[in-house]
Structures are given as structure tokens and as C-alpha cells.
Structure 1
Amino acid sequence: MCEYEFNETAYTKIIFHAAKYPHQAVNGLLLAEKKPKGSIVQIIDAIPLFHQCLHVTPMAEVALMQIDSYADSNGLVIAGYYAAPENFYDNQIDKAPAAKIADKIQENFKNACFAVVDNKLMSLEHNRAALQVYGYSNDSSRWSKAKFWLTQSSQTLEGVSLLLKRGAMRDVIDFDNHLDNPEYDWTNQFLNQSLRDLQKLY
């Protein structure tokens, strides 16, 4: 099974999306380089999808087509799916709609991962990565826990904590926001800056 490295951009977007809508479930897609380095898949970006009606098929299909085109034009591939459950204690990955989307991604990218935000670790004082990451095991035909880490882990956790305290998560745009106003940029280019540069904006 593959191992996964999440860079600061991908991790920041996931956490910001979950923190912006703490009372709702959210989901999104994970992007990686088309050619993984050995057995390590480097997750280098995250695209926030929805915070309302997470699994409405027509909207999900529109989003997937646009994101797939965006990824392809940037030399990337949709390499995973993330979700933050609404229920504080619910960190299961066997919820049918979410699992179906993750399974579909895995059909197109065999080393895909399924990341679940761990609500119990979501706080303004980020001491550990608030994620549980799963990879697909062909032997058992199911998702099972996989090894993962954050790029520059301590600096990333410290930077995300500081930005959360400053309310930076309010500015993240998901596909729901984009559907409400097409001028909103669901790629969140401003979050592609280093965390140090982001801190200067807030």
C-alpha cells in the first residue's frame, strides 16, 4: 500500500474548509502529481467541493469535470477524496455516498487515498494533523488505514493554528460558493502561497 505526504497547501485548504463550516459536513478532492515518486503519493493541493447537499449527482458531476480539466492542465491528477463529518464522533469512511465517490476516484487512480477530518483533533491549537488517511487495499478490496505525514509538519501545524486564530478560514471558497457566484475562485489561488506569506495577509 502507498504512503501519503500532504503538503502545507493541501492540508491548509482541508482544515480551512472544515473550520469554515463547523456545523456542517464538507467534502473535497485531493490532487497529486501524475507520476508518484516511488510508493509515496504527494498530495499537493485540495479543492473544496460542497458544504450543502454533498452528494447531489448533477452538481458533483459538473464539479468533477471542471476539476479534472483543471488538474490535467496543471500536470496533476485527482488522487483522493476528503470529507469532514457533521457529527463530532463520526469518523467512519463507510458512509455510502462518500465511499462511492472515493471508489470512483480509485478506479481512475489506483493509489488514491480517502482522508477524513478527525473532528476530535480540530482546534485552534493544532498539535497533531487532524486527519485519518486510508488507502485502498486490492487484497481485501477495501479502504484501510495508511501511513501519512505533513510536509514540514511542525511549521505547517503552527502556521495553520495561527491563521485559524485570525479567522483566515472565512475566505476559503468551495464549489458551492462558486455555484452561488461564478466569480468566486474555487481553486483558492491565494492559499497556494506559503503559510509565512499568508500570515502577512492576516
Structure 2
Amino acid sequence: MPPHTYTVSRLAYVKVLLHAAKYPTCAVNGVLLTSSPPGVTDVVVSDAVPLLHHWTSLSPMMEIGLDLAGGYAEDAGLRIIGYYEASERADDTSLGPVGDRVVSKIKATSADAVALVLDAQALSMGEAGLLPYTASPSLKAVTHSFTLAPPTAPSADSKHSPTFHLAETDLPARTLRAIEEQSLQQELGDFDDHLEDVRIDWLKNSKVTVVVEKL
């Protein structure tokens, strides 16, 4: 089977960045959803569900959040394909032990499981700002490169390794502008927020979805 090609949609990308921007001094994490059926090689990461900014370890809150996100995905005709995280340190782009274990758990049911780690320094330089990891047969995460746009021609590496790109090349600039000018990150809620205020729509984040569609 040829290697997978992952396209990160506008909605998924913006939610990941908003989550990190809302809690810049905390580690944050969440899950990635797809509408692509299992077995295809062209995978679209269509949405993201923000989980935690307090209890980011493998805690009962993490397990509950993952179960609820999985139920939401199933009801919406989607499936969990991956995990994302951002460190409280701008220079830390490693996938932590929690992320490694979550990706391995997802891989048990989805062979195309992936993790995305925020790279704040790359983002500040106009790049996508995401570092992808996939689970190897040994269950140890392997890192890959991420481009703004799909390659115009396949490279030697792409014939053997998965490729990752954004659905729209100007998404980083548009998202950062929405954060700076509209404070859009304040509209996003995660599972931790929901535990403090049950009115917060952490699974769908409808307010954010409406704005993102107009970005």
C-alpha cells in the first residue's frame, strides 16, 4: 500500500491553534477527527476536539474525555484518527509519553493514526507550525515533515513516508490574524472548561465553527 497523505482542514487547524493560544502557559491536548473511511491513503483531518489544559496526564479525566470524544465522533459519522498537543514551552516539539501512548491506543483501531505537535517557533516564521508523528511497528513515534501545500511532484522520501500538508496555504497567517484581531481563542472551550461550566460546547465548539467558515 502506498504511504498515506494527510490534509489538515481549515477547521481542524484553527481549533488546534486556538486551543494553544487560549492557554499559552499550559500544555494542551486534544484529538483529531476524520471523515475518511479506514483503508484509504488520502486522509483528511476534518475536525479537532480540544480535551485538556489542566489534567493532561493519563488521568481519569483524559480517559473520560477520550471516550466522550469517541462517542461524539461516531454520532457525527466521523472517527478519531489522531491526537494533538502543544507544550507550555515554545521550544518543545517532542511528543510526550502521554501522546505516544494515546497514538498507540488509536492505532489499535486505526492504522492511519497520527499525532500533531505544535511548533510555535516554526509558526512564527510563517510555516504551518505542526510537527507530525506516526506510530511505528514498535509503537515508538516517528517524526515527519509538514508542508503548507502538497508537493507538486512526489519526492523519493514521499514514496516511502507519509506526507502532511494544509488544505489552504494561507491558513497560518489567517489564523494568527483572527487570534490577534478578534481574540477568537476566547470562544473555544475544552473538556476542562466544560467541567467548570457545563454550558460550554467543548465537543463541537459551534461558535468557533461559524467564525472559521468565514475566515
Answer yes or no: same fold by TM over 0.5: yes
1:123-138 equivalences in 2 (<5 Å): 123=124, 127-138=126-137
2:80 counterpart residue number: 78
2:166 counterpart residue number: 150
Q: 8 Å contact 1:31–1:78 — kept in the other structure?
A: yes
The one-letter amino acid of 2:121's match is K
Mapped to 1, the partners of 2:66 and 2:196 lie a distance apart of 17
Where do 5+ consecutive residues of structure 1 fail to align? none
Mapped to 1, the partners of 2:36 and 2:56 lie a distance apart of 26
Mapped to 1, the partners of 2:83 and 2:197 lie a distance apart of 24
2:4 counterpart residue number: 2
Q: How far 1:36 moved relative to its partner? A: 5.2
- State TM-score, norm by structure 2: 0.83
1:190 correspondence with 2:191: no
Mapped to 2, the partners of 1:56 and 1:143 lie a distance apart of 17
- Provide the secondary structure at the position in 2 that maps to 1:59: helix
Tell me which moved more, 47-56 or 68-77: 47-56
Mapped to 2, the partners of 1:172 and 1:189 lie a distance apart of 9
- State TM-score, norm by structure 1: 0.87
Root-mean-square deviation (CA, aligned residues, Å) is: 1.9
Q: 8 Å contact 2:38–2:110 — kept in the other structure?
A: no
Q: 8 Å contact 2:7–2:165 — kept in the other structure?
A: yes
1:100-111 equivalences in 2 (<5 Å): 100-111=101-112
1:165 correspondence with 2:180: yes
1:47 correspondence with 2:49: yes
Mapped to 2, the partners of 1:92 and 1:164 lie a distance apart of 24
Identical-residue share of aligned pairs (%): 31
Where do 5+ consecutive residues of structure 2 fail to align? 145-161
Tell me which moved more, 82-91 or 36-45: 36-45
1:30 counterpart residue number: 32
- Provide the secondary structure at the position in 2 that maps to 1:193: helix
Q: 8 Å contact 2:187–2:208 — kept in the other structure?
A: no
Q: How far 1:190 moved relative to its partner? A: 2.2
Q: 8 Å contact 1:114–1:133 — kept in the other structure?
A: yes
The one-letter amino acid of 1:190's match is K
- Provide the secondary structure at the position in 1 that maps to 2:107: helix
Mapped to 2, the partners of 1:103 and 1:37 lie a distance apart of 17
